[in-house]
């Protein structure tokens, strides 16, 4: 079974392209911490927020 973090990372890479790979370690670390400290729902919300913030950063001039 594929973990939630791997699925989310794939989605981020597909949406943002290869530049998202730079955040891979930080995203995985955040997801693991969130899963250990809270529910899966919280981890998914954190990952979505990370992806959204990263997208805003790379789209900003």
The span from the CA of 43 to the CA of 60, in Å, is 26
5 vs 14, more confident: 5
What are the b/e assignments for 36-46, b being 16+ CB within 10 Å?
A: eeeeeeebbeb
| Residue 21: CB atoms within 10 Å | 13
Helix (H, G, I), strand (E, B) or coil at 57: helix
23 torsion bin: left (phi>0), alpha (psi -120 to 50), beta (else):
alpha
Q: pLDDT tens digit string along 6-61?
A: 767 676 666 655 555 556 666 666 767 666 665 666 667 777 888 777 776 666 65
User: pLDDT value at position 54?
Assistant: 76
Mind listing the pLDDT tens digit for each residue in 44-58?
777 788 877 777 666
């Amino acid at each position: 079974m594929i973990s939630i973090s791997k699925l989310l990372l794939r989605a981020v890479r597909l949406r943002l392209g290869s530049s998202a790979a730079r955040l891979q370690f930080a995203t995985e670390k955040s997801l693991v911490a969130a899963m250990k400290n809270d529910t899966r729902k919280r981890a998914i919300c954190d990952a979505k927020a990370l992806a959204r913030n990263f997208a805003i950063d790379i789209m900003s001039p």
